[in-house]
């Protein structure tokens, strides 16, 4: 592949290959010797039209650990503010001959549109409620490191699935690798076609968490709920916030995951987010390794003409 736009474009073998390579990158990242070879002499531009803490900084670190020249385009200070379009902005950057563009945009499909116009490789760092492929890869790597495999794990994805690109990419990846996927949330926050996505649907946390190996909480994305139903925080936490009582329905050794940013006291209680079952910080660490693996693979495939 030239680009990574979504998990939907990857075969199970390609997903496993990326996770295997990322596992090797974890070991490298933990030593003081950074590789600085695979992307030496390459230029990576991060173009984020939406806010990010984890994704942007880990793509930057990943590029630097592989030896790339990394530039973070500050959209807030760019000519986007003067009305320049997404495509014109991308073509301007394309003229500077980058090797990789890492793009986040609030509109689903915007990153794929841009990928058709530019000469370099494009990585989707999140497009609207569509896909966030590197998040799903780092989530799978985290699961595999703790549980030894992804196949046959019961993974409960909980909360605002309707607005979540993280949920969508995870559902695709987990199904591809043979996990059992559950979606738990109020009807108002579940996409209409959810049952056809290969998931079992639950309305009550207590039912959906029963026997789960992994509990993946999602942020309530109030910024994407303009005009539609917005639940009150207190009511949402009571029914869908992960606390000790609800978590007790999952397996005793269930992993608690959250892609971040977290809203403590909304979708997850603070003591659970910081508790012994939480692997939330490890997910962040795995993000750097996965992004190294993805960028190295894309450039190697491009060089090989695949």
Q: Is 54 marked as binding a ligand?
A: yes
* Long-range Cβ contact pairs of 102-106 (< 8 A, separation 24 or more): 102/44, 102/45, 102/46, 102/47, 102/48, 102/56, 102/59, 103/47, 103/48, 103/49, 103/127, 104/47, 104/48, 104/49, 104/50, 104/52, 104/55, 104/56, 105/49, 105/50, 106/49, 106/50
Task: Report the residue number, 91 or 262, with the smaller CB distance to ligand CP.
Answer: 262
Task: Out of 199, 259, 278, 280, name the contact with ligand CP by CB under 6 A.
Answer: 259
53 is a contact residue toward ligand CP (CB under 6 A):
yes
| Terminal alpha carbon distance of the chain | 6
**Minimum distance between the CB of residue 54 and ligand CP, rounded to whole angstroms?**
4
- The residue with tokens 């209409």 is 192
Residue closest to ligand CP (Cβ):
55
Question: Closest Cα partner for 132 from 35, 221, 237, 67?
Answer: 221
In this structure, what are the phi and psi dihedrals at residue 46, rounded to the nearest 5 degrees? Answer: -100, 120
Task: Report the residue number, 65 or 291, with the smaller CB distance to ligand CP.
Answer: 291
Segment lying near ligand CP (by CB under 6 A), choices 30-38, 52-60, 200-208, 243-251: 52-60
In this structure, what are the phi and psi dihedrals at residue 28, rounded to the nearest 5 degrees? Answer: -65, -45
Segment lying near ligand CP (by CB under 6 A), choices 16-24, 88-96, 235-243, 257-265: 257-265
Task: Report the residue number, 53 or 248, with the smaller CB distance to ligand CP.
Answer: 53
260 is a contact residue toward ligand CP (CB under 6 A):
yes
**Minimum distance between the CB of residue 51 and ligand CP, rounded to whole angstroms?**
6
d(CA 304, CA 35): 21
**Minimum distance between the CB of residue 117 and ligand CP, rounded to whole angstroms?**
24
**Are the C-beta atoms of 132 and 77 separated by less than 8 Å?**
no
Task: Out of 29, 135, 142, 169, name the contact with ligand CP by CB under 6 A.
Answer: 135
Task: Out of 54, 64, 145, 146, name the contact with ligand CP by CB under 6 A.
Answer: 54
d(CA 94, CA 262): 34
Task: Out of 29, 44, 55, 142, name the contact with ligand CP by CB under 6 A.
Answer: 55
Question: Closest Cα partner for 181 from 196, 173, 171?
Answer: 171
**Minimum distance between the CB of residue 53 and ligand CP, rounded to whole angstroms?**
4
76 is a contact residue toward ligand CP (CB under 6 A):
no
Contacting residues for 283 by C-beta, under 8 A, at least 6 apart: 138, 139, 142, 257, 258, 259, 260
133 is a contact residue toward ligand CP (CB under 6 A):
no
Task: Report the residue number, 130 or 180, with the smaller CB distance to ligand CP.
Answer: 130
Q: Is 208 marked as binding a ligand?
A: no
164 is a contact residue toward ligand CP (CB under 6 A):
no
Angle, CA 299 vertex, CA 295 and CA 305 arms, to 5°: 145
Task: Report the residue number, 231 or 259, with the smaller CB distance to ligand CP.
Answer: 259
**Minimum distance between the CB of residue 212 and ligand CP, rounded to whole angstroms?**
21
Task: Show binding-site residues for carbamoyl phosphate.
Answer: 54-55, 104, 132, 135, 260-261
Q: Which residues bind ligand CP (CB under 6 A)?
A: 52-55, 126, 135, 259-261
């Amino acid at each position: 592949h030239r680009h990574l736009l979504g998990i939907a474009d990857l075969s199970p073998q390609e997903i496993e290959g990326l996770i295997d390579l990322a596992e090797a990158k974890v070991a490298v990242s933990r030593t003081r010797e950074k590789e600085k070879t695979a992307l030496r002499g390459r230029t990576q531009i991060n173009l984020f039209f939406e806010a990010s803490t984890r994704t942007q900084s880990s793509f930057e670190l990943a590029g630097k650990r592989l030896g790339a020249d990394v530039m973070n385009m500050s959209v807030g200070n760019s000519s986007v503010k003067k009305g320049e379009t997404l495509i014109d902005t991308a073509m301007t950057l394309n003229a500077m001959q980058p090797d990789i563009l890492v793009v986040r945009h609030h509109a689903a499909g915007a990153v794929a549109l841009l990928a058709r116009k530019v000469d370099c490789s494009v990585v989707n760092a999140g497009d609207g409620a569509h896909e966030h492929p590197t998040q799903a890869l780092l989530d799978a790597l985290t699961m595999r490191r703790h549980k030894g495999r992804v196949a046959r794990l019961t993974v409960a994805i909980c909360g605002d699935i309707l607005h979540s690109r993280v949920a969508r990419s995870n559902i695709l990846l987990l199904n591809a690798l043979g996990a059992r996927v559950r979606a738990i949330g109020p009807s108002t926050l579940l996409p209409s076609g959810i049952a056809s996505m290969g998931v079992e649907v639950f309305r009550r946390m207590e039912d959906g968490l029963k026997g789960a190996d992994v509990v993946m909480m999602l942020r309530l994305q109030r910024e994407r709920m303009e005009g539609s139903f917005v639940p009150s925080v207190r009511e949402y936490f009571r029914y869908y916030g992960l606390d000790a009582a609800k978590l007790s329905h999952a397996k005793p050794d269930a992993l608690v995951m959250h892609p971040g940013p977290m809203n403590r006291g909304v979708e997850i209680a603070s003591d659970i987010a910081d508790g012994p079952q939480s692997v939330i910080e490890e997910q962040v660490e795995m993000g750097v390794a996965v992004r190294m693996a993805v960028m190295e693979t894309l450039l190697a495939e491009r060089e090989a003409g695949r």
